[in-house]
Amino acid sequence: DAGLGVLDSVGNPVLDDRWKVQLERYLEVEGLGAPHILGLLREKDVLWFGSFEGVWRVSPDGVRRWGRENGLPSNQTHALIRDRRGALWAATERGLARLDGEHFVTWEEGPMAQRQWFVEAHRDSRGVVWFGSWGGGVLGFDGEAWTALDSRDGLLDDRIYAVQERGDGALVFGG
């Protein structure tokens, strides 16, 4: 058994030893194998990640997992992001969900919100959260209104796997 390792894009460990031990202990007690990590959100003392098994929170205080039984539209969670108000969003294969206390609430407002397989999340410098989807373009939420963009609006592809912001504030959508 090689143990559990979570590395950043250049190979540095993301989990320090105390978090790693807690996560390994939790997985053993619950009878789960190491999760296949699809997306990461690192905060000061908390590591959130999306996996085929749902959303995980690892902190010095312990480990918690949310799944369909906790309101996610699907366990398969590809990306996690906080909006400008601090709410945690999960981008899943069956739609978007926002953590509301102890449960996720499936977001059913706005274009594409319930019917798309979302694979990417990015918050731009203005605080707009952008969700890239598999085949449905990109969806932006500024906290009040939704914006939907797809190939009819000039995107080169309706599959958006990456959203980044240039230094001048322009958004780049990669498919």
In tens, the pLDDT along 52-84 reads 999 999 887 878 999 999 999 999 999 999 999
pLDDT at residue 9 in the model: 54
Flag whether pLDDT at 14 surpasses 90.
no
In tens, the pLDDT along 94-132 reads 999 999 989 999 877 666 555 678 999 999 999 999 999
pLDDT at residue 2 in the model: 43
Residue 123's closest CA among 159, 81, 173? 81
The whole model's pTM is what? 0.82
Query: What mean pLDDT comes out for the span 18-40?
Result: 70
d(CA 90, CA 38): 11
Query: What mean pLDDT comes out for the span 20-46?
Result: 74
Beta-bridge partner residues of 82? 88
Q: The tokens of 32 are what?
A: 């789960």
pLDDT at residue 105 in the model: 92
d(CA 87, CA 159): 25
Burial per residue of 93-112, b for 16 or more beta-carbon CB atoms within 10 angstroms, e otherwise = bbbbbbbeeeebebbeeeeb
pLDDT at residue 12 in the model: 59
pLDDT at residue 158 in the model: 92
More confident residue, 89 or 30: 89
d(CA 160, CA 168): 21
pLDDT at residue 3 in the model: 47
Q: Categorize the per-residue pLDDT at 159 as very low, low, confident or very high, splitting at 50, 70 and 90.
A: very high
Flag whether pLDDT at 166 surpasses 90.
yes
pLDDT at residue 18 in the model: 61
- φ and ψ of 45, to 5 deg: -115, 15
d(CA 16, CA 19): 6
Query: What mean pLDDT comes out for the span 160-175?
Result: 91
More confident residue, 99 or 39: 99
